[in-house]
């Protein structure tokens, strides 16, 4: 690949998706874009760049999609889902006990493995969530991956990485070599197309935000900017989950790590929900008297 083509693609990806490729990612471009070039009847990356320069917007969209699509699997890294079951949900069940509703956002929902893993966790909680309204909103830059996520259909390879066999049997239906998530699990997740570089305040506020393995593609300033806007999209006592290789250190003061819970953060200034009510019931009559 010649250096000017590489620079062209770097700039284009930066402008369109925020993807910040370092100077040595030629192999990544080759491996992701060569198949796409061939599919379009082009010989190599040079021809692909030429066609993009001639103004093929659909090709540009395909290139951005191909470069930003991540590999993902069910219950990826395990630990975040342990946090979800052991820390996030027990606290939220208490903190939201009166309103009985919860909003969860998967900010890089990709092909659905993460939001559906959360949906399965919630389903497994059974009666504890009886009468609750839980929303899972999955967003992604790419419409193509959102389509796949909506369908909830996965290959034999995909369902074998991270998903315990009992859960496969319990929550999927087999169609030949493919496996589709049951309709009740699929119905728990809403899908929206969203570029994290753009305003996302229209999504409203969330109690839990999973934003894993997407910020790694952005430069420092963009990361800081996104953290700032995530802080405004999260409840003061909410939880933010980042990828295993990601951190807020040196990027934002808006979130603080939780001790012994790798990848789990809380908004700064927001307080953890107390294990008990903030004031004891014994104090209530006094307060009532003071007011009377």
Partner 1 sequence: MKTCLVVDDSGVTRKIARRILEELGFNIIEAEDGEKALEVCRQALPDVILLDWNMPVMDGYEFLGNLRRMPGGDAPKVVFCTTENGIDHISRALHAGANEYIMKPFDKDIVAAKFQEVGLIQATLPEVV
234 forms beta bridges with: 206
Q: Which of 94, 101, 174, 193 binds partner 1 (CB under 8 A)?
A: 174
Contact flag: residue 177 with partner 1 (CB under 8 A):
yes
Contact flag: residue 164 with partner 1 (CB under 8 A):
yes
Residues touching partner 1, count (CB under 8 A): 22
User: How near is the Cβ of 252 to partner 1 at its closest, in Å?
Assistant: 15
Q: Which of 26, 56, 160, 224 binds partner 1 (CB under 8 A)?
A: 160
Contact flag: residue 78 with partner 1 (CB under 8 A):
yes
Closer CB to partner 1, 7 or 219, in the complex:
219
Encoded one letter per residue, x for contact with partner 1 by CB under 8 A and - for no contact, window 221-250 reads -----------------------xxxx---
Closer CB to partner 1, 52 or 214, in the complex:
214
Q: How far is CA 266 from CA 1, 86, 137, 242, in A?
A: 44, 16, 19, 11
Q: Can you read off the two tokens belonging to residue 122?
A: 């919630």
Contact flag: residue 77 with partner 1 (CB under 8 A):
yes
Q: How far apart are CA 30 and CA 51, in angstroms?
A: 16
Q: How far is CA 279 from CA 69, 117, 284, 285, in A?
A: 48, 37, 8, 12
Q: What are phi and psi of 55, to 5 degrees?
A: 95, 45
Q: Site residues for partner 1, window 195-224 (CB under 8 A)? A: 216
Closer CB to partner 1, 134 or 251, in the complex:
251
Q: How far apart are CA 140 and CA 146, in angstroms?
A: 7
Q: How far apart are CA 100 and CA 180, in angstroms?
A: 30
Q: Can you read off the two tokens belonging to residue 133?
A: 């309204």
- Which residues of the chain form contacts with partner 1 (CB under 8 A)? 73, 77-79, 156-157, 160-162, 164-166, 168-169, 174, 177, 216, 244-247, 262
């Amino acid at each position: 690949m010649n250096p000017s083509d590489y620079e062209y693609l770097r700039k284009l990806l930066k402008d369109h998706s925020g993807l910040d490729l370092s100077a040595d990612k030629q192999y990544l471009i080759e491996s992701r874009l060569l198949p796409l070039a061939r599919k379009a009847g082009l010989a190599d990356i040079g021809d692909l760049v030429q066609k993009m320069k001639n103004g093929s917007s659909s090709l540009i969209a395909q290139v951005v999609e191909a470069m930003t699509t991540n590999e993902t699997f069910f219950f990826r890294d395990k630990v975040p889902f342990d946090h979800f079951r052991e820390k996030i949900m027990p606290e939220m069940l208490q903190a939201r006990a009166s309103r009985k509703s919860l909003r969860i956002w998967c900010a890089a929902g990709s092909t659905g493995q993460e939001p559906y893993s959360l949906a399965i966790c919630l389903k497994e909680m059974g009666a504890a969530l009886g009468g609750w309204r839980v929303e899972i909103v999955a967003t992604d830059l790419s419409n193509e991956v959102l389509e796949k996520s909506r369908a909830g259909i996965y290959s034999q390879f995909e369902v074998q990485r991270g998903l315990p066999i009992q859960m496969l049997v319990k929550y999927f239906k087999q169609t030949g070599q493919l496996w589709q998530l049951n309709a009740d699990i699929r119905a728990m997740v809403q899908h929206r197309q969203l570029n994290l570089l753009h305003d996302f305040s229209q999504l409203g506020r969330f109690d839990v935000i999973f934003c894993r393995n997407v910020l790694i593609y952005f430069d420092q300033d963009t990361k800081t900017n996104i953290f700032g806007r995530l802080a405004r999209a999260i409840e003061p006592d909410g939880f933010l989950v980042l990828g295993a290789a990601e951190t807020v250190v040196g990027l934002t003061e808006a979130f603080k790590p939780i001790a012994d819970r790798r990848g789990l953060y809380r908004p700064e200034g927001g307080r953890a929900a107390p294990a008990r009510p903030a004031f004891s019931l014994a104090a209530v009559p006094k307060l009532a008297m003071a007011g009377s």
